[in-house]
Structure 1
Amino acid sequence: MKALLLSGAACAALIAIPAQAQRSKSITPYIELAQTVDADLTNNDVLTYSTIAAGVDANIHTTRTDVQVSYRYERRIAWNKDIGDNDVHSGLARANVRVAPGVSLEGGALAVRTRNDIRGAAPINLAADNDNISQVYSVYAGPTVATNAGPVQLNAAYRYGYTKVETPGATLVAPGAPKLDTFDSEQSHVVTASAGVKAGEVLPVGVTVSGAYERDTQNQLRQRYEGKYARGDVVLPVTRTLAVRAGAGYENIKVTQKDALLDAAGNVVTDRNGRFVTNEASPRRIAYETDGLIYDAGVIWRPSPRTLLTANVGRRYGGTIYTGSFSYAPTRSVSLQIGVYDGVTTFGRQLQDGIGRLPTTFITQRDAFGQQFGGCTFSTGNSAGGCLNGALQSISTSAYRARGVDAILSASRGPISYGVGAGYANRRFYAPEGEGFTVDGVEDDSYYAQAYVGLTLDPVSSINADIIANYYKSGIVGSRGIYSEGATVSYYRSFGRLGASATAGLYNFSQQGLRDQTSAQGQVGMRYSF
């Protein structure tokens, strides 16, 4: 059932499309057979396995519908006993369907493999039999309503989200290091509403009042996140291109959970999957709480329809916060986006928020080694795309304050398309005080960069290349900094419905003070598209 989250969301999006819009669609199912060689260059070990895959690529863009789906299921069949057979799911779905004037349904889904423990192994090749890798599924959907009551603009939205993580194998965390809990599943509900008037319609300033309610529930230790917000904002135009804004309101956030069950020796009891067992008799303990006034102010600069800058500073979460964004699209084929963020969140909700910011037109590649959609996703439309590295740097069961910056550039010129993404992410964790080790106050840091280029050689052949580099550092005492780098090149050729591909990759990860782990992969495959 978990494995069908992405495909189910994709089918729901396609079914929801009005019948008259389905005349303009491209839906291409396919099957694929491939042979892969995985060479461990550090230990001089070579493994070979076969894969059989099935998937679908779909694009539907009309006046009422924007949908793109890319989903792939792969079954790996080992040739020897050194590695086992396993399944890999990868894909992304984004949809926005306008079902009536002012009413739309919006959603997204993701299936990806990513790192589990930030202190452990950091392989870039996510399709091989690597340590510290978990399969992640996440989906969200909900309606949005926008209407007017005279000069007043009214908006409301609801979003439901669900995230599931499969249990990882070995993590390669140093022996004796504190054991961290392993994420299971999380559900989230978000309700927002606002009413506002533009500057000059009723008053010289634009005025908006808004409110929101958020609730996340997690299986692990019965964790619960609950947030309530209400605020008012004003915008004052200064010139034709510049405005200043300010806002203030009330916020209440509370994160609680129960204790883990301990044995007679005081050690945490785990289930057969390595997850902490909840002590149901434990009272609900507070991991994080804030209650009071919030405020911020900033500027909005829009010198042209293709350029927009926002910058804000304020007080929230008991301290100073900085947020902002910059978007620039000098031509229809070039787009740049930069975002600075700061907020208290959970793994599931940060991931769903990131999916929601991805465009409904994105570049897809033949994902030979499982790298697609787990980092930066580049766009073919007006948006540059987005990066999920901040959420997927590792998986956490604890709530945390996420701060960072993302920058992404997408461009195309004739037969060439390319993209560059980079960013920095910091997470400060919240947990109740108690006996033994706690992550409360621990901070993680991650830096990441990715570059992509695609070249169409002729109508039937093309080349794609990716370069990825990451650095991770956990604040847990004794943790080492971890580097990972990789490069992949693929060649594709079409023979009508039948296509052939060849892919090669070189990957490395290292922990400070330990020997580098270097590997090379090669794959040849054939695909039949229906």
Structure 2
Amino acid sequence: MLRLQERALGCSVTLVMLLAATSVQARDRYVAPYIEVAQVLDVGLSNDEVLTYSQVAVGIDAGISGRRVEGQVSYRYERRIQWDDRIADDNVHTGLARASATLAPGFTVEGGAVATRARADIRGTAPGSFVGNVDNVTQVYSVYAGPSLTTRAGPVEIAAAAFGGYTKVEAPVSTGLAAGQQRLDYFDDSKSVLAQASAGVPVGAVLPVGVTVSGAYEREEAGQLDQTYEGFYARGDVTMPVSRTVALRAGAGYEKITASQRDALLDASGNPVVDDNGRFVTDPASPERIAYNTDGLIYDAGVIWRPSPRFELQANAGYRYGGETYFGSLNWQLARDSGLQIVVYDGIETFGRQLRDGLRTLPTAFQGTANPFGQQFNGCIFGGNPGAGGADAGGCLNNVFQSISTASYRARGVDGVISATRGRTAYGLGLGYANRRLNTPDVAPGTVALGVTDESYYAQLFWSRALSRVSQVDANLFANYYDSGLPLANGVFNLGATGTYSHQFGRLGTVASLGLYTFDQEGFDSQWSAQALLGARYTF
């Protein structure tokens, strides 16, 4: 029987292929399955350890672009084969899929999925490459799908949407924590649903101001410690133009959010009991404990500046989650081939829901950045059509993968992405800051994250150049800094760069890559490593 995560990934590939098959108006489509064989060399520059192994991979790159359908999938399964007993055989799934299809006027179905590797614990080691024997790395799978509807009833514009999501995380073998640090619980899986609707009249249709009423309901159930998130809100918003390019907006409403969990089972010594995967065993006799609760009035106001159809800036401030809140966005279509997007966010999140919503914001056409060392789709994803404006510039998942936490948390931060495709050159830059305040019951046995605040800073640069119709070079540069508020935790910094050259000989292609990485934990010596890869790919 296939595992749930493999089914989810297969569903994402099937989704894109189904959209391709049902669209007769597609302007462009491609399907390129392949098989690849490569040899990898990993050299520890700090400890003189040398590892080498072979890898065999199968994958598919496919996409479709049309008036009613957009979609792309890039998926790869990799099997690592050891040469000696110094590295274990391993299976790696890496992929991203996004698709959207308009099935009838105003009715759209969309979906997405991701499979990637990510750090499990924010305090642990931070390998820049997932080559060889690495600690603090786990496999993540997530998928979502749902319909949306926009229609009119006289002057009233009506919108509704519903989405379901599923996320699965494999338990890490080792996190590389320093001695004396208490372990956290390991995220298992979660199922979520989201339903939202709105109705409103635009400016000038009935009144000199625009009026909208909206509401949403959301629920998530997580496998670890029977955790549950439930929230809903209802609100009204008014938009008032003050000039040709500037409008003011304000809104108020009611919101209720509750996050809860049960206790971990304790042994005779008072320590949490864990299962074979290292996850906490839930105490069946435990009461449901409240980890987070908010209930009451919410309000905010802001300004919208739209000097041209290619530029929009929104800035807002208000009261929510029991205190001040700030959020906004900037979308700028710099040119026909380049775009910029900046988002300031603030919300109560869980890992599964934040990953689902992060997938929803990614473009349906994206750059397949060449990084054969496994650092794929867990950072910034750059748009394949950045000049289209809005989210087509791309987006970052770094804030989601800052750490994989089972607890709910208040997530605040800023993400910025700029990307361009000019002739045979494509490039992108992503920057961001993420802050989490974890929510856990203050009387739950085994809890170590009560009121803890985690932070991270990240940057990623991508550049690609087609030297000819059959050859290409790609380069990636990234840097991350992680800071946990847990006791005895040290700041962790990593920096890495890769370069890849590929050449096609008909259906047979060759690839050569080099990588250099370092990570540093405060109080420990820096760790440096270098990687090399030489491989061949046959595209069917």
Normalised by the shorter chain, which TM-score bucket? over 0.9
Moved more, 205-214 or 432-441: 432-441
Structure 1 unaligned residues grouped into runs of 5+: none
Aligned to 1:420: 429
| 1:455-481 alpha-carbon deviations (Å, 9 max, x no partner) | 111111010000010000100011000
Secondary structure, counterpart of 1:446 in structure 2: strand
**1:433 shift after superposition:** 1.2
Aligned to 1:6: 9
Which amino acid in structure 1 is aligned with residue 408 of structure 2?
Answer: A
Which amino acid in structure 2 is aligned with residue 365 of structure 1?
Answer: T
Aligned to 2:256: 252
Superposition CA RMSD, Å: 1.1
Percent identity over the alignment is 55
**1:437 shift after superposition:** 4.1
C-alpha distance in 2, partners of 1:467/1:269? Answer: 41
Secondary structure, counterpart of 2:454 in structure 1: strand
Q: Does 1:513 align with 2:496?
A: no
Q: Does 1:522 align with 2:526?
A: no
Q: Is the 8 A contact 1:7 1:71 kept in 2?
A: no
Which amino acid in structure 1 is aligned with residue 370 of structure 2?
Answer: R
Aligned to 2:295: 291
Which amino acid in structure 2 is aligned with residue 94 of structure 1?
Answer: R
C-alpha distance in 1, partners of 2:363/2:373? Answer: 23
Q: Is the 8 A contact 1:178 1:437 kept in 2?
A: no
C-alpha distance in 2, partners of 1:477/1:298? Answer: 39
Q: Does 1:330 align with 2:340?
A: no
Q: Is the 8 A contact 2:255 2:295 kept in 1?
A: yes
Q: Does 1:482 align with 2:492?
A: yes
**1:320 shift after superposition:** 0.2
Aligned to 1:200: 204
Q: Does 1:174 align with 2:178?
A: yes
C-alpha distance in 2, partners of 1:11/1:28? Answer: 14
Structure 2 unaligned residues grouped into runs of 5+: none
Structure 1 segments of 4 or more deviating over 6 A? Answer: none
Which amino acid in structure 1 is aligned with residue 17 of structure 2?
Answer: L
Q: Does 1:400 align with 2:409?
A: yes
Q: Is the 8 A contact 2:147 2:161 kept in 1?
A: yes
Aligned to 2:219: 215
Aligned to 1:39: 43
C-alpha distance in 2, partners of 1:500/1:118? Answer: 36
Secondary structure, counterpart of 1:281 in structure 2: coil
Aligned to 1:98: 102
C-alpha distance in 2, partners of 1:97/1:75? Answer: 34
For 2:318, which of 297, 314, 318 is the aligned residue? 314
Secondary structure, counterpart of 1:458 in structure 2: coil
C-alpha distance in 2, partners of 1:390/1:240? Answer: 36
**1:394 shift after superposition:** 1.2
Q: TM-score, normalised by structure 1?
A: 0.98
Q: Is the 8 A contact 1:334 1:409 kept in 2?
A: yes
Which amino acid in structure 1 is aligned with residue 512 of structure 2?
Answer: A
| 1:306-337 alpha-carbon deviations (Å, 9 max, x no partner) | 11100000000000000000111121111111
Which amino acid in structure 1 is aligned with residue 536 of structure 2?
Answer: M
For 1:433, which of 439, 442, 447 is the aligned residue? 442
Q: Does 1:25 align with 2:34?
A: no
Secondary structure, counterpart of 2:267 in structure 1: coil
**1:416 shift after superposition:** 1.7
C-alpha distance in 2, partners of 1:215/1:178? Answer: 30
C-alpha distance in 2, partners of 1:221/1:273? Answer: 14
**1:294 shift after superposition:** 0.1
Q: TM-score, normalised by structure 2?
A: 0.97
Q: Is the 8 A contact 1:235 1:245 kept in 2?
A: yes
C-alpha distance in 2, partners of 1:237/1:131? Answer: 55
Aligned to 1:162: 166
C-alpha distance in 2, partners of 1:248/1:79? Answer: 63
**1:366 shift after superposition:** 3.5
Which amino acid in structure 1 is aligned with residue 154 of structure 2?
Answer: G
| 1:405-428 alpha-carbon deviations (Å, 9 max, x no partner) | 001110133222111111000000
For 2:373, which of 369, 378, 382 is the aligned residue? 369
C-alpha distance in 1, partners of 2:471/2:524? Answer: 42
Label 1:93 to 1:493 Cα distance change in 2 as closer, same or farther (>3 A): same
Q: Is the 8 A contact 1:128 1:369 kept in 2?
A: no
For 1:81, which of 80, 85, 98 is the aligned residue? 85
Aligned to 2:474: 464
**1:126 shift after superposition:** 2.1
C-alpha distance in 2, partners of 1:438/1:232? Answer: 39
C-alpha distance in 2, partners of 1:437/1:163? Answer: 23
Secondary structure, counterpart of 1:329 in structure 2: strand
Secondary structure, counterpart of 2:467 in structure 1: strand
Aligned to 2:153: 149
| 1:33-78 alpha-carbon deviations (Å, 9 max, x no partner) | 1010011111101111101101111110111100111111100101
Secondary structure, counterpart of 2:399 in structure 1: helix
Total equivalences in the alignment = 530
C-alpha distance in 1, partners of 2:236/2:481? Answer: 40
Secondary structure, counterpart of 2:362 in structure 1: coil
**1:16 shift after superposition:** 4.1
**1:212 shift after superposition:** 0.3
**1:21 shift after superposition:** 4.2
**1:14 shift after superposition:** 1.8
C-alpha distance in 2, partners of 1:359/1:460? Answer: 27
| 1:149-180 alpha-carbon deviations (Å, 9 max, x no partner) | 01111111100000000011111111221120
Aligned to 1:187: 191
**1:261 shift after superposition:** 0.4
Aligned to 1:442: 452
Which amino acid in structure 1 is aligned with residue 63 of structure 2?
Answer: N
For 1:453, which of 459, 463, 479 is the aligned residue? 463
Secondary structure, counterpart of 2:9 in structure 1: helix
Secondary structure, counterpart of 1:359 in structure 2: coil
C-alpha distance in 1, partners of 2:47/2:171? Answer: 26
Q: Is the 8 A contact 1:88 1:127 kept in 2?
A: no
**1:117 shift after superposition:** 0.4
C-alpha distance in 1, partners of 2:7/2:478? Answer: 29
Q: Is the 8 A contact 1:205 1:236 kept in 2?
A: yes
C-alpha distance in 1, partners of 2:369/2:132? Answer: 18
Aligned to 1:122: 126
Secondary structure, counterpart of 1:286 in structure 2: strand
Q: Does 1:350 align with 2:350?
A: no
Secondary structure, counterpart of 1:423 in structure 2: strand
Map 1:383-394 onto structure 2 (within 5 A).
Answer: 383-394=392-403
C-alpha distance in 2, partners of 1:395/1:130? Answer: 17
C-alpha distance in 2, partners of 1:197/1:484? Answer: 50
Q: Is the 8 A contact 1:190 1:213 kept in 2?
A: yes
C-alpha distance in 1, partners of 2:71/2:329? Answer: 25
Q: Does 1:359 align with 2:385?
A: no
Secondary structure, counterpart of 2:278 in structure 1: coil
Secondary structure, counterpart of 1:392 in structure 2: coil
Which amino acid in structure 1 is aligned with residue 429 of structure 2?
Answer: V
